[in-house]
Amino acid sequence: MNFLESRLYRALELITNFLWLNLLWLVSCLPIFTIFPATAAMFAVVREWVKKREPSITRAFFSFFKENFKQSFWIGFLWSSLGGLWAINVVLIGRMPGPARLPLYIFFSFVGFLYVFASIYLFPTIVSFDATGPTILKNSLLWSVTQPLTTVQCVLVLLASVAMLLIFPATALILGSVVSYTIYWLCNQAFTRAASTKDT
C-alpha cells in the first residue's frame, strides 16, 4: 500500500493540522486583547473541517481572524464584562449578613451556570450565523437552554480537557484545537437538528 494513502499518513496529517492550528491560536492570543478574534478564527477553521472542507490552515486562519476581528472583539469584551460584573456581585454578596446571602447566592449561582452554558455556544454561533452582537448573545443563551444534551456533552468535554491539561501539561500544544473541533462538531449537530425541526 502506498504510504501516502495509508491510514497512518492520514492520522499523522490530522495530528499535524491540529498542532499547527493550535500553535497559530496560541501565538495569536499573546497580545491578550486578540484572544477573542483568535478563538473565533480557530472555530471558523474547524467549522471548515467539520463541513468536509480543507482550506490552507494558515491562510484560512488569518483570513477568518481579520474577517471576525471587530465583531468577536466587541462580543468578547462585552461578555467578559458581564462575567466580571457577575464575579463582583458574588464577592459583594459574600460580605452581606448571613440571612440575606442564601437566596442571592442561589440566584447568582443559577445565573453563573447560564453564563457558562451560553459561553459554550458563543464562538460556534459567531462563525455559523450572520447576526448582530446582541442576537449572537441571545441565541447562545437560547441554544444552551433548548439543547440540554449538547450543553452537557460540551461541559463534559471541557471538564475532561481541564483534567487532561492538569495531568499532562504538554497537551496544551494541541488541546485547544481538538476541544474547539469537538465542541463545534457537537454544536453543529444541534444546529442541524434545530434546522430540520424548523423545516418540518
Given a cut of 80, whether residue 199 has pLDDT beyond it is: no
**pLDDT confidence of residue 113:** 94
pLDDT on residue 9: 76
Looking at 1-10, 82-91, 143-152, 154-163, which range is the least confident one?
1-10
Query: pLDDT tens across 14-64, in order?
Result: 899 999 999 999 999 998 899 999 999 999 999 999 998 887 899 999 999
For residue 93, name the pLDDT band (cuts at 50, 70, 90).
Answer: confident
Averaged pLDDT, 93-121: 87
Parent domain of 182 = 3-199
**In this predicted structure, what is the pLDDT of residue 198?**
66
C-alpha closest to that of 119 among 10, 27, 39? 39
Q: Provide the pLDDT for residue 13.
A: 87
* Span of 4-8, 25-29, 113-117, 176-180 with lowest mean pLDDT: 4-8
The residue-averaged pLDDT of 125-133 equals 92
The CA dihedral of 146, 48, 11, 170, to the nearest 10 degrees, is: -70
147-176 pLDDT per residue, tens = 999 999 999 999 999 999 999 999 999 999
Number of domains in the chain: 1
d(CA 163, CA 149): 21
